[in-house]
Amino acid sequence: MATLNIFFFVLLIQCTVFTGSSRQLKKSNVNIDSYGDNTFSVISFGAIGDGKKDDSKGFKRAWDAACDSSTPSPTFLVPQGKTFLLQPLTFNGKHCNSNNITFQIDGRIIAPTKPSTWECNRNCHHWIGFQNFDGLHIQGSGIINGQGGNWWKLSCKDNQKSCQLRKPTGFMIGHSKNVDMKGSTFEESPKMHIAFEDSTSIHATQLTIKAPGNSPNTDGIHIQRSTNVSIHNTTIQTGDDCISIGDGSKYINITNIECGPGHGISIGSLGIMGKTEEVEFVHVRNVSFYGTTNGVRIKTWQGGHGHARNIRFEDITSHASTRPIVIDQYYCPHKQCKNQTTAVEISNIAYENINGTSHKETAVQLSCSESSPCRNITMKNINLRNEKQKGKTSSYCLNAHGLRNGRVHPNVPCLDKHDNF
């Protein structure tokens, strides 16, 4: 009861400051706001939503109230029809009373336009973050726009000098479990749009991610050190990987995805600077690629340790992707790598029902390392034609071993033919 009293006291002060009306004050005292006593609208806590004034304080106050509230299932509401300007902000679920918290995001949230006005000492890890939640629902028809345009101009890829600025991830969920996300749209992030880090049991569905095809490092969804993550029914158009699956990812289920423009769905890169990195039990099913640079790709650096294994890609359609199937154990975007005597091991990789067109003649590229050849690569029912009417497709194999079954076109002769595996 004591905490409740303090809570209402705080609320009273806030209402005095933000509404200045005793009638509303009374109403607030009873109802908290017009949405009911389990809903904490940022508007009731001082956010304006005109797209110009900084709404961060209103968001923080609404969050403190939702987190401290004794209602079993509080809802943090970002109402529709308004645009909220937010500085970098992290919601921490650690000391909340509830383990069933909903973020209903129906409005638009935007970041500051100029990188120099971001309040994070030029070292931003992320813009909007969620940490230490167990039982979190993020849903609604809202749009979350990171205003990345000015950050992209600072790209390392284009301009080495401005590289010191660490570009923020748009939306980060870290150290959390039992999270689901549904319906939201993410646009124009400075760097990757969504990152799942150090988390378990995250389920995302019906998301839309949108950034220009030439925006640098703007991966759609990045998964790192997380298990039991699923991504379904999601459309991603961006300038880097639609989905990238990094170190420590296990039991990942990706289905019904439309990807492109972008760099495809990638496992890795793994094993940079000799690191030991592991990814396993990844299932990618029913994905369409539209003009992406890669389709399904596994990429590892020379000199790494660990493994990428038990990975299955099936029911994939490529619409003029540059290279629909890629394993690259010589990943080196900066072209300054030496070949080394170790590599992240790649094994038990299955490709099944992969159809459509390839932009390059080499539709299938399996570049495996000499020190650690790829083992048990299986292909079944592959039919990749050249995008150009009279063009043909071919495959490239280096140190790759496994089996092929059914129709495999282009032929991949390094895989032994097997009639029933």
Q: Cα dihedral sign for 260, 264, 269, 270?
A: positive
Could you tell me the two tokens for 324? 């629909």
Which residues 61-90 are close enough to bind ligand NAG by CB under 6 A? 73, 75
Based on CB atoms, which residue is closest to ligand NAG, 21 or 73?
A: 73
Site for ligand NAG contains 317 (CB under 6 A): yes
299, amino acid identity: K
**Backbone φ, ψ for residue 28 (5° rounding):** -60, -40
- Cβ neighbours for 409, distance < 8 A, ≥ 6 positions apart: 382, 383, 384, 385, 393
Residues binding ligand NAG: number (CB under 6 A): 34
- Cβ neighbours for 203, distance < 8 A, ≥ 6 positions apart: 179, 180, 181, 229, 230, 232
Length, in residues, of the chain: 421
DSSP label at residue 218: -
**Smallest separation, CB 110 to ligand NAG (Å):** 26
Selected binder of ligand NAG within 16, 97, 381, 411 (CB under 6 A): 381
Based on CB atoms, which residue is closest to ligand NAG, 230 or 394?
A: 230
Q: Helix (H, G, I), strand (E, B), or coil: what is residue 163?
A: helix
Based on CB atoms, which residue is closest to ligand NAG, 51 or 406?
A: 406
Site for ligand NAG contains 355 (CB under 6 A): yes
Based on CB atoms, which residue is closest to ligand NAG, 102 or 155?
A: 102
Based on CB atoms, which residue is closest to ligand NAG, 10 or 398?
A: 398
- What is the C-alpha radius of gyration for the chain, rounded to an integer number of angstroms? 24
- Helices 22-31 and 2-18 pack at an angle, to 10 degrees, of 150
Site for ligand NAG contains 97 (CB under 6 A): no
Site for ligand NAG contains 292 (CB under 6 A): no
Half-sphere exposure of 305 (CA within 13 A, CB side): 3
Please check whether residue 280 is in contact with residue 311, taking contact to mean a CB–CB distance below 8 angstroms. yes
- Cβ neighbours for 116, distance < 8 A, ≥ 6 positions apart: none
Site for ligand NAG contains 34 (CB under 6 A): no
Site for ligand NAG contains 348 (CB under 6 A): yes
Please check whether residue 253 is in contact with residue 229, taking contact to mean a CB–CB distance below 8 angstroms. yes
Could you tell me the two tokens for 116? 């120099």
Site for ligand NAG contains 150 (CB under 6 A): no
**Smallest separation, CB 62 to ligand NAG (Å):** 16
Site for ligand NAG contains 342 (CB under 6 A): no
Candidates 60-68, 226-234, 262-270, 385-393: pick the segment binding ligand NAG (CB under 6 A): 226-234
Site for ligand NAG contains 228 (CB under 6 A): yes
Candidates 2-10, 51-59, 86-94, 198-206: pick the segment binding ligand NAG (CB under 6 A): 198-206
**Smallest separation, CB 259 to ligand NAG (Å):** 9
What is the C-alpha separation between 394 and 324, in angstroms, rounded? 12
Q: Which of 193, 263, 307, 359 is catalytic?
A: 263
Site for ligand NAG contains 102 (CB under 6 A): yes
Selected binder of ligand NAG within 28, 155, 176, 288 (CB under 6 A): 288
Site for ligand NAG contains 283 (CB under 6 A): yes
Based on CB atoms, which residue is closest to ligand NAG, 24 or 233?
A: 233
263 is catalytic: yes
What is the C-alpha separation between 37 and 33, in angstroms, rounded? 7
**Smallest separation, CB 304 to ligand NAG (Å):** 14
Q: What's the CA angle centered on 107, arms 103 and 112, to 5 degrees?
A: 100
Distance from the first to the final alpha carbon of the chain: 66
Please check whether residue 279 is in contact with residue 243, taking contact to mean a CB–CB distance below 8 angstroms. no
The binding site for ligand NAG (CB under 6 A) comprises: 73, 75, 100, 102, 178, 201, 203, 205-206, 228, 230, 232-233, 253, 255-256, 258, 283, 286, 288, 315, 317, 330, 338-339, 348, 350, 353, 355, 376, 378, 381, 383, 398
By annotation, the residues acting in catalysis are 263
